[in-house]
Chains A and B, each alone.
Chain A
């Protein structure tokens, strides 16, 4: 069987390369075969690279905007996302996440799982995804 290539996916904007900037032992994403696997993303300011704490709505918007940039940096896009896992700090806020989520995936949304977990650093949302590579 032919071996699949495995390549790191990184954002063009270096401020958004949280795993490198914070020296964390994960890649922003990995491309393998037809797929790109994106690490869990939290809300980061694309100008400064700083944590951008806010509401569930504002953090969701920032994360999905940064996720679009990361996927586009790898030649993919939000339209190519097949599965999303959303972690929020409290399921009471589910609707606030869902509303912003809908703005980013207007048609044919991806499959998704949402659950409430304890997150680090006071974040309210973390999102990871699997996308098809290419446009």
Chain B
């Protein structure tokens, strides 16, 4: 039977939203050959400080942080299977795509974009499933 293991990339302690913001969730969970990542905001990967900005700047920070967490498991963005990108206003859809393209492998992972209400004044939140 498949095991369930908490994925804790200790080189990026700032990304632990449970520790810094009391959000009752793990950064990621490894199970059945996949890593499931919690929704990520633009946080400083060392301190957890919120780095509010534009959709472009927040997306860049989130994807760099995701890259660091994957690197902890010896993986890269090439292993991404599915992405949820939650933005504060769908008018920014093309803005998201412009920065997103610069990070994603070809072919890119499956993705859904939602326009939703986000926490703490952020403009974007991204979660991910990667093949471990």
Contact = CB atoms under 8 A, between A and B. Distances in A.
Contacts of A35: 31-32
Interface residues of B, number: 31
Contacts of A132: 1-2, 4, 31-32
A90 B117 contact: yes
A71 to B, nearest CB: 13
A133 B3 CA distance: 10
B22, B25, B33, B116, most chain A CB atoms within 10 A:
B25
Chain A contact patch, size range: 20 to 34
Interface in A91-132: 91, 94-95, 98, 101-102, 105, 108-117, 130, 132
B127 A94 contact: no
Nearest to A103: B24
Identify whether the interface residues of B are mostly helix, strand, loop, or mixed: strand
A101 B26 CA distance: 13
Contact of A33 (B6, B32, B36): B32
A79 B118 CA distance: 27
Identify whether the interface residues of A are mostly helix, strand, loop, or mixed: mixed
A94 B119 contact: yes
A80 interface: yes
A54 interface: no
A84 B32 CA distance: 16
Nearest to B5: A108
Interface of B: 1-2, 4, 6, 18, 22-29, 31-34, 36-39, 84, 86, 114, 116-119, 125, 127, 129
